[in-house]
Amino acid sequence: MADLFKGFLSDSESIFKNEIALDPEFSPKLIPFRESENQYIATCIKPLFQNRTGKNLIIHGSPGVGKTLACKNVIKELEETTDDILPVYANCWKKNSTYQIVLAICEALNYKFTHNKRTDELIAIVTQKLNRKSSVIILDEIDKIENLDILYHLAENLYRKTIILITNDSNWTYKLDPRLKSRLVPDRLEFRPYTLEETREILKQRIHHAFNSETLTSSEEIAKKTFELKDIRIGLFLLREAAEIAESFSTKKISEEHVNKAIEKLSNFQKPVALDDDEKAILDLIKSNPEKTTAGIYNIYKEKFGLKSERTFQRKIKSLEKSNIVKLTRIEDIHGRSYRIKQLTEF
């Protein structure tokens, strides 16, 4: 027999106690540091318990700060508490057309006769079903939706509801058509990033689920990196990666070196292939002027390098965004259309 896989057979015991705990989709039982946000969401839903209509809500915050987790928890708690409020959750990134979202609502309502029915027929059916009771409709990643027809419809035709929209883009609301805004009149709730201490604590819980106590003795570097990049998913990625690196050295203990290797992998993973001179220069300006919008950066860039056209500048900055080095959020300021810039990766 060949030797290639021999070692794998004898080495059947995994470094993980429960690998699923490191999956970003895993829902931990406890959600620390989001008590007040959960409470706020509950307050918007409260009128539904009294047979009145609820408040609509836009939740915003950067990636990996627990928005989806909090909302899924709301659904779970609703299901455990009452049969009179119908909870519906759909992710508009995965299902971005009106038809797909209506199908997701049908599924949540356990309505199976969707075959051969047109979108408008299905909309009429779910509206009727939802209006028999109260409903909480959560549309996650709403900024990815193809068009807002379904939102108009739900806002206008459901009698007793709370519509919760989740987005990364804090300016998304400002782009909304006033007619829709005046139908929704949503409250806004921001999920701020976690502090270092909170990040440490959240990761500790996952480590406790995922590993035996002697597997990982210090997770401080992982917590620090996660805090720096402000996304709990990065921490989960690093934990899994460090464990796999340890395993590849046939050890059941994750050392500092394994953690450092995992962190290195993270920056390789995020860095783009190469930046050209213009992109480098623009990035330097962004670093030294973190408060400036794209319009402000363009002004300095023009002064410094003369001649360059605004179109070239826009193209370069979009390419930085594509490479995940910066995140651009649209705003209206004195310069007209402009973008707020957030640097995502060190470079």
Ligand X SMILES: Nc1ncnc2c1ncn2[C@@H]1O[C@H](COP(=O)(O)OP(=O)(O)OP(=O)(O)O)[C@@H](O)[C@H]1O
Residue 42 CB, nearest approach to ligand X (Å): 16
Residue 95 tokens, joined: 């299902």
Cα separation of the two ends of the chain: 48
DSSP 138: E
Residue 87 CB, nearest approach to ligand X (Å): 17
Stretch that binds ligand X, among 66-74, 214-222, 249-257, 280-288 (CB under 6 A): 66-74
Considering beta carbons, is residue 64 or 186 the nearer one to ligand X?
64
Chosen residue from 56, 62, 68, 294 binding Mg ion by CB under 5 A: 68
Stretch that binds ligand X, among 210-218, 232-240, 243-251, 268-276 (CB under 6 A): 232-240
Stretch that binds ligand X, among 61-69, 112-120, 175-183, 220-228 (CB under 6 A): 61-69
Is residue 258 involved in binding ligand X (CB under 6 A)?
no
Is residue 168 involved in binding ligand X (CB under 6 A)?
yes
Contact 168, 196 (CB under 8 A): no
Instruction: For CA atoms 240, 246, 252, 253, give the dihedral sign.
Output: negative
Number of H helices and E strands in the chain, helices first, is 15, 7
Conformation bin of residue 141: beta by default, left when phi > 0, alpha when psi is -120 to 50: left
Residue 150 tokens, joined: 């379904």
Q: Compute the distance between CA of residue 74 and CA of residue 87 in angstroms, rounded to an integer.
A: 9
Considering beta carbons, is residue 31 or 331 the nearer one to ligand X?
31
Considering beta carbons, is residue 28 or 43 the nearer one to ligand X?
28
The b-or-e profile of 51-87 (16+ CB within 10 A means b, else e) is eeebbbbbbbbbebbbbbbbbbbbbeebeeeeeebbb
Chosen residue from 65, 122, 245, 262 binding ligand X by CB under 6 A: 65
Residue 68 CB, nearest approach to Mg ion (Å): 3
By rule CB under 6 A, what string of x and - marks binding of each residue 5-44 to ligand X?
-------------------x---x--xxxx----------
